[in-house]
Structure 1
Amino acid sequence: MPRAPRPGAALAALAAAQFTVMLATSVVNVALPEIRAGVGLSDTGTTWVVNAYGLAFGALLLAGGRAADLLGRRPVLVAGLGLFVAGSVAAGLATGPGLLIAARATQGLAAAAVAPAALALAMSQYPSHAGRGKALGVWGAVSGAGGAGGVLLGGLLTQAGGWPWIFHSVALGAILVLVAVLILVPDAARPEPGRFDLLGTVTVTLALTCLVWGLTSARGTGWADARVLGALGAAALLLVAFAVIERRRPYALIPPGLLATGRVAAGNLLMALLGSVWIALFFFLPLYQQQVLGSGPLATGLGQLPLACANMLGAALAPRISRRLGVPATVTGALLTEAAGLLWLGRISAHGSYAADLLGPSLLVGLGLSVAFVQLTALAVDGVPRQDAGLAGGLVNTTRQVGGAIGLAALATLAGSVTAHAHQPAPEALTSGYRTAFLVSAAVLAATALLALLLTRRTWPARPVEAPGPAEPWQDRASDRTSVV
Structure 2
Amino acid sequence: MTSQAIDLQKSGSVSDLDPRRWLALVVIGIAQLMVVLDATIVNIALPDAATALHITDANRQWIVTAYALPFGALLLLGGRIGDYVGRKKILMIALGGFALASALGGIAQNFAMLAGARALQGVFAAMLAPSTLSMLTVTFRDPKERAKAFAVFGAIAGGGAAVGLVLGGLLTEYATWRWCLLVNIPISVIAIVGTSIYLHESSTERQGSYDVLGALLATIGLGMLVWGFNQASSHSWSSPNTWGFLVGAVVLLVVFVWWESRNPHAILPLRILKDRNRAGSYLVGLLVGTGLFAVFLFLTFFLQEVKGWSPVKSGVAFLPFSVGVIIGAGVGSQLVLKVGARIVVPVGLVLGVIGLLLLSRLSLTTGYLGTVLPAILLISIGMGFIFMSTTNVALHGVDAGDAGVASAMVNTTQQIGGSLGTALLSTFAVSSTVSYLAGHSTGGAPDKLLMAAAQVHGYTVAFVWAAGFFAAAAIASVLMINASRQDAASAEPGMAAMV
TM-score of Structure 1 vs Structure 2, range by shorter chain: 0.7 to 0.9
1-structure distance, mates of 2:380, 2:428: 24
Q: Of the candidates 431, 435, 453, which is equivalent to residue 456 of structure 2?
A: 431
Query: Could you say what secondary structure the match of 2:305 adopts?
Result: helix
> What does residue 479 of structure 1 align with?
none
What does the per-residue CA deviation read over 1:175-196, in whole Å, with 9 as the maximum and x for residues that have no partner? 4444555566654453532222
> What does residue 387 of structure 2 align with?
373
Report if aligned partners of 2:341, 2:485 keep a CA contact under 8 Å in 1. Answer: yes
Report if aligned partners of 1:155, 1:301 keep a CA contact under 8 Å in 2. Answer: yes
Residue 252 of structure 2 is aligned to residue 276 of structure 1: no
1-structure distance, mates of 2:139, 2:360: 42
Query: Could you say what secondary structure the match of 1:84 adopts?
Result: helix
Report if aligned partners of 2:346, 2:474 keep a CA contact under 8 Å in 1. Answer: yes
Code of the aligned partner of 1:258: I
- Sort the Cα spacing of 1:114 and 1:220 in 2 relative to 1 into closer, same or farther, 3 A: farther
What does the per-residue CA deviation read over 1:275-322, in whole Å, with 9 as the maximum and x for residues that have no partner? 011111111111111222121222111111111222233334442332
Query: Could you say what secondary structure the match of 1:195 adopts?
Result: coil
1-structure distance, mates of 2:392, 2:145: 12
Code of the aligned partner of 1:60: L
For residue 387 of structure 1, report the CA deviation from its aligned partner. 4.2
Q: Of the candidates 326, 330, 334, which is equivalent to residue 340 of structure 2?
A: 326
Query: Could you say what secondary structure the match of 2:183 adopts?
Result: helix
For residue 19 of structure 1, report the CA deviation from its aligned partner. 4.1
Code of the aligned partner of 1:261: D
TM-score under structure 1 length normalisation: 0.84
Q: Of the candidates 325, 329, 332, which is equivalent to residue 315 of structure 1?
A: 329
> What does residue 104 of structure 1 align with?
118
Code of the aligned partner of 1:437: A
1-structure distance, mates of 2:149, 2:357: 31
- Number of equivalent positions: 474
Q: Of the candidates 468, 477, 482, which is equivalent to residue 443 of structure 1?
A: 468
Report if aligned partners of 2:396, 2:487 keep a CA contact under 8 Å in 1. Answer: no
Show the 5 A alignment for 1:13-412: 14=28, 16-39=30-53, 41=55, 46-121=60-135, 142-143=156-157, 146-147=160-161, 149-179=163-193, 187-188=201-202, 190-412=204-426
- Sort the Cα spacing of 1:280 and 1:251 in 2 relative to 1 into closer, same or farther, 3 A: same
Code of the aligned partner of 1:28: V
Of all paired residues, the percent bearing the same amino acid is: 34
Query: Could you say what secondary structure the match of 1:28 adopts?
Result: helix
1-structure distance, mates of 2:398, 2:458: 42
What does the per-residue CA deviation read over 1:203-228, in whole Å, with 9 as the maximum and x for residues that have no partner? 23322232233334444544344333
Code of the aligned partner of 1:431: V
2-structure distance, mates of 1:263, 1:8: 36
For residue 253 of structure 1, report the CA deviation from its aligned partner. 2.5
For residue 249 of structure 1, report the CA deviation from its aligned partner. 2.5
Q: Of the candidates 474, 481, 491, which is equivalent to residue 456 of structure 1?
A: 481
Once structures 1 and 2 are overlaid, which stretch shifts more, 333-342 or 389-398?
389-398
Query: Could you say what secondary structure the match of 1:351 adopts?
Result: coil
2-structure distance, mates of 1:128, 1:345: 46
Code of the aligned partner of 1:67: I
2-structure distance, mates of 1:472, 1:357: 37
1-structure distance, mates of 2:148, 2:331: 9
Query: Could you say what secondary structure the match of 1:31 adopts?
Result: helix
1-structure distance, mates of 2:256, 2:301: 38
> What does residue 477 of structure 1 align with?
none
Query: Could you say what secondary structure the match of 2:44 adopts?
Result: coil
2-structure distance, mates of 1:59, 1:240: 15
Report if aligned partners of 1:148, 1:282 keep a CA contact under 8 Å in 2. Answer: no
2-structure distance, mates of 1:381, 1:465: 9
2-structure distance, mates of 1:166, 1:472: 34
2-structure distance, mates of 1:392, 1:17: 23
1-structure distance, mates of 2:397, 2:147: 13
Ranges in structure 2 where 5+ consecutive residues have no aligned partner = 1-12, 441-449
2-structure distance, mates of 1:44, 1:472: 42
- Sort the Cα spacing of 1:36 and 1:409 in 2 relative to 1 into closer, same or farther, 3 A: closer
2-structure distance, mates of 1:405, 1:32: 16
What does the per-residue CA deviation read over 1:327-355, in whole Å, with 9 as the maximum and x for residues that have no partner? 22222222222222222222223112222
For residue 105 of structure 1, report the CA deviation from its aligned partner. 1.9
Report if aligned partners of 2:341, 2:393 keep a CA contact under 8 Å in 1. Answer: no
- Sort the Cα spacing of 1:315 and 1:128 in 2 relative to 1 into closer, same or farther, 3 A: farther
2-structure distance, mates of 1:35, 1:483: 35
Report if aligned partners of 1:5, 1:185 keep a CA contact under 8 Å in 2. Answer: no
For residue 389 of structure 1, report the CA deviation from its aligned partner. 4.5
For residue 452 of structure 1, report the CA deviation from its aligned partner. 1.3
Code of the aligned partner of 1:298: V
- Sort the Cα spacing of 1:62 and 1:156 in 2 relative to 1 into closer, same or farther, 3 A: same
For residue 236 of structure 1, report the CA deviation from its aligned partner. 1.3
1-structure distance, mates of 2:23, 2:275: 32
For residue 433 of structure 1, report the CA deviation from its aligned partner. 2.5
Report if aligned partners of 2:398, 2:406 keep a CA contact under 8 Å in 1. Answer: yes
What does the per-residue CA deviation read over 1:402-431, in whole Å, with 9 as the maximum and x for residues that have no partner? 212222233222233333333452333322
Give the RMSD, CA atoms, in angstroms. Answer: 3.6
Report if aligned partners of 1:144, 1:370 keep a CA contact under 8 Å in 2. Answer: no
Report if aligned partners of 1:337, 1:368 keep a CA contact under 8 Å in 2. Answer: yes
> What does residue 444 of structure 2 align with?
none
